[in-house]
Structure 1
Amino acid sequence: MNFTYNPNQIAYYHSDHNLLAEVTFPDVDENTVNIDHTFVDNSLRGQGVAGKLMEALAIHLRSEKKKAVLTCSYAISWFEKHPEYQDIIVEPLQNK
């Protein structure tokens, strides 16, 4: 899956340039972003696209040495299931 990396957004577009999936992460400050929104079009649901977006974002943030605040419910759930990326979270999630 070829994602498009834009400032504060990682997206997946259909060949006709329609947005099919995205995760947005506006800057909080120069070292921190807020993962605030995840969207996947109905045509792609159930295929793991949101998880692939989140993993791409985690790798991207780690490479830029940035941290994240999580306000998107999907992001919170995803990071709870992926402790290998806890190092990029401002306040690490507690295992439940």
Structure 2
Amino acid sequence: MRKEEMDMEFLIDSNRFYLEDANGELTAEITFTRPNNDFFIIDHTGVNDSLRGQGVAQALVKAVVDKARAENMKIIPLCPFAKLEFEKKEEYADLWRR
């Protein structure tokens, strides 16, 4: 089963979701800002080479999408990867602040 098909348990800070390996080293993260109470700006998505191709980056974007839905927010995907995800996934269209 691909990681994107699983519910991933990301660590959470106020402006990012991320994963660490057993040594506490950062292996994946997505960062976003909240300029006001209307929208998030996704500005970075990064995944360690060891996790590439496993759906981790997609799951990170989905984590921000889920947070935006829960908080009734929109998203501006400035990060090229996040923008591509928004372009590919119709289910994100209602959250995309253009």
Partner-residue secondary structure (3-state), 2:35: strand
User: Quick one: which amino acid aligns to residue 59 of structure 2?
Assistant: K
Please say if 1:82 is aligned against 2:95.
no
Identity %: 37
| Runs of 4+ off more than 6 Å | none
Higher relative contact order (CA 8 A, sep 6+): 2
Equivalences, count: 91
Aligned equivalent of 2:44: 37
TM-score by length of 1: 0.88
- Equivalent of 2:58 in 34, 51, 64: 51
Separation in 2, partners of 1:86, 1:8 = 22
Question: RMSD in angstroms over aligned alpha carbons?
Answer: 1.0
Where does structure 2 lack aligned partners over 5 or more consecutive residues? Answer: 1-7
Please say if 1:64 is aligned against 2:71.
yes
Query: Cα distance, 1:43 vs. partner?
Result: 0.8
TM-score by length of 2: 0.86
Separation in 2, partners of 1:79, 1:57 = 12
Aligned equivalent of 2:16: 9
